[in-house]
Amino acid sequence: MAGTFLILRIWRNMDSYIKVSEDSLYINIENDVSNGNPAPDIQEFLNKIENKNVTVGVIGLGYSGLQIATALASSGISVTGIEFDREKVKKINRGVSYIENVSSETLGKLVETDRLYAVHDMAVLSELDVVIISDQIPSRHPLNKDISFMMALMEKIIASLEKPQLIIIDTVMVPGTTRDVLYPLFVEQKKSVNADFFLAVAPERTDPGNKKMSVSMIPRVVAGITKESRILASALLQHVTKQTVQVSSPLAAEMVKFFENSYRWVNSALVNEMMMMCNKLGISVWEVMHAVKSNPFDYFRYLPSPGYGVTSQYNEEPFELFWKKALSGLRYDILGKAIDINTYITRDFIVDMISELLNDQKKCLNGANILIVGIANKKDVGEWNESSAVEIIKVLINKKVNVYYHDPLISHVTIGKGHDTLSSIALNAEMLAWVDLTVILMDHSDINFETIVEHAPLILDTKNVTHGIKGDKKNIKVI
């Protein structure tokens, strides 16, 4: 009931934005856990942040984390990157970048000048003034992420507290996680907010694959478990981005990101449903989409996709209780249906189409040799978390298919509960001619699709990348 009241309270005040400066916005609601205690003197801490005299640790140097780390280091702040993948640690300390929005030249200069270095353990935590958590949370479902890793990580941070430390959560989480799951961990260990620690939320905002849109250009939504936490976090993030948008509570900040993701899920599901209809009617969804694009209003372009790499199984987690209580009696059918559609596309529609194409060639799915081209979660990005391709590979392996993959940006991937590792293979004429079916699931710029069209005997193209390529198209099925 308290959660419902909080949502209503925020809703009533949605029009209460006040512009503080060109660099910061905030909602004029105070909603923290300080229980009316006198605000501590945070001016000294604030001065250190503004004067760049703080030491910052960034946990998780993936697409968002590495950009944050390099932005802070470029501003003059000393940054330690904590990354559990030893290969990434080695690359960073050699000045070699593995994401497109951070150049090796920039990274190399920061490492050479001791502004940035990476480690693979958390022994440095107690030495830091600020800790930014940017690690990905394993996802079972958009409404139900597995945060056991995040809880264990936070417990390690709490155990290492030796001085007041600002902790900023950059990781995307289900609304209610910070307030109802993570903050209580500090309380259990008798740590006092505004004294032993400051806790803030600033969900990641990135556009993977867009080289023109760096983190410095994207406004960051910021909230704190207390007002002081929010102020400190906003001050630090202004060394990363041109603008911060301060909101009333971690719940509000988490809901902002959830809204943004939901918008994408719903629109993607709508387009995928149209794709299935077009496929059933025997017309090209890509032709329809191209014509729809001519509409000068009321249309934002989403493209058909192989869905998302999440399952539709709910699990009983502490934060799920928030949804059950706060949203009790409220219908959110659109979002649930969108998730179901995208999950169906991944686990059923694509796999059924693969089976049908093989059957047409008098071949069986069981024992077939299939090459997956592109397994990343987005074009020109070297990350595979929540990738639909990985989920499709899992389903195919369970059906006794011999699966191979090629992705120029992902050298290896871990599949399933057994943690089996697949490695990317070379894309050549011999391999393409040998496999029974080549399935294109991602349209990376560095993939030679002309070679695929020329040599593959059977192709399933989910990205319409074979359109316009000369060659025999009788062996190509485009969805």
* pLDDT band at 261; cut points 50, 70, 90: confident
CATH node for 272-478: 3.40.50.720
pLDDT at 217 over 60: yes
473 vs 161 pLDDT, higher one: 161
Alpha-carbon distance of 432 to 156, in angstroms, equals: 48
* pLDDT band at 362; cut points 50, 70, 90: very high
pLDDT at 7 over 50: no
Would strands 402-406 and 412-415 be described as parallel, antiparallel, or unpaired?
unpaired
Domain 2-248 and domain 272-478, same fold? Reply is: yes
The predicted structure's pLDDT at residue 326: 64
Residue 395 has which token pair? 């389903």
pLDDT at 204 over 50: yes
pLDDT at 317 over 50: no
Residues 449-461 have pLDDT tens digits of: 999 999 999 999 9
The predicted structure's pLDDT at residue 344: 87
39 vs 163 pLDDT, higher one: 163
CB-based contact 20:231 (threshold 8 Å)? no
The answer to whether domain 2-248 has CATH 3.40.1190.20 is: no
* Domain locations in the chain as residue ranges: 2-248, 272-478
The predicted structure's pLDDT at residue 386: 77
For 113-222, where are the alpha helices, taking DSSP H only? 148-159, 177, 183-188
The predicted structure's pLDDT at residue 296: 80
pLDDT at 408 over 50: yes
* pLDDT band at 262; cut points 50, 70, 90: confident
Across-strand partners of 133? 59, 169
pLDDT at 9 over 60: no
343 vs 218 pLDDT, higher one: 218
Alpha-carbon distance of 152 to 113, in angstroms, equals: 33
Helix axes 63-75, 104-112, angle to 10 degrees: 50
The model carries a pTM of: 0.80
pLDDT at 146 over 90: no
* pLDDT band at 168; cut points 50, 70, 90: very high
Residues 79-91 have pLDDT tens digits of: 999 999 899 999 9
| List of long-range contacts for 229-232, beta carbons under 8 Å, 24+ apart | 229/32, 229/166, 229/193, 229/194, 229/198, 229/199, 229/200, 230/26, 230/200, 231/42, 231/46, 232/42, 232/45, 232/46, 232/49, 232/166, 232/198, 232/200
The predicted structure's pLDDT at residue 415: 84
Distance in angstroms between the alpha carbons of the first and the last residue of the chain: 46
